[in-house]
């Protein structure tokens, strides 16, 4: 009888670890896809798009960037709103920073590591990215938070 319970416990524990591993694999793929899309948006501004003139250069990036402002009801919980001047400036700053890092060299970037870290804002999904800047190998950490059913960039180190 004890062997039966031990076997059930081991099976249950194994199931939990397998489910967690599959979640991590799925999350890492979704985070990598989000990073790729955001880098493309920041790199490929369409100045013929009337919304670029009307709203601003990096308006398409706002739904990919976590709001980090003073409003505690929204900070780290929602994506940026490009129609608000403070948030627009934040999005533009992040895109310009992205364009100085992983978008700097035409050779592109390479994801070299994925990890998660639990912090007060939630679980951070961190991609370590290598890229070249003026021919010199550099690295940067792009940290994402899950907001609803998608990931948003919250920080670059």
SS3 74: coil
Q: Where are the domains of the chain?
A: 2-156
pLDDT in tens, 47-83: 999 999 999 999 999 999 999 999 999 999 999 999 9
By DSSP bridging, strand 122-133 and strand 109-119 are antiparallel
Predicted pLDDT of residue 105: 76
Listed in sequence order, the DSSP H helices in the chain are 2-43, 50-54, 85-100
pLDDT beyond 50 at 85: yes
* Mean of pLDDT over the chain: 86
């Amino acid at each position: 009888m004890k062997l039966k319970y031990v076997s059930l416990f081991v099976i249950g524990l194994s199931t939990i670890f397998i489910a967690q591993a599959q979640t991590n694999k799925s999350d890492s793929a979704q985070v990598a896809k989000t990073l790729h899309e955001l880098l493309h948006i920041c790199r490929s501004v369409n100045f013929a798009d009337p919304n670029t003139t009307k709203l601003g250069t990096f308006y398409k990036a706002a739904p990919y960037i976590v709001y980090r402002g003073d409003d505690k009801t929204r900070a780290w919980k929602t994506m940026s709103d490009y129609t608000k001047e403070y948030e627009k400036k934040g999005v533009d700053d992040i895109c310009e920073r992205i364009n100085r890092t992983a978008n700097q060299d035409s050779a592109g970037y390479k994801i070299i590591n994925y990890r998660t870290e639990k912090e007060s804002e939630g679980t951070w999904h961190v991609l370590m990215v290598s890229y070249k800047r003026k021919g010199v190998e550099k690295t940067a950490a792009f940290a994402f938070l899950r907001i609803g059913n998608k990931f948003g960039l919250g920080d670059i180190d």
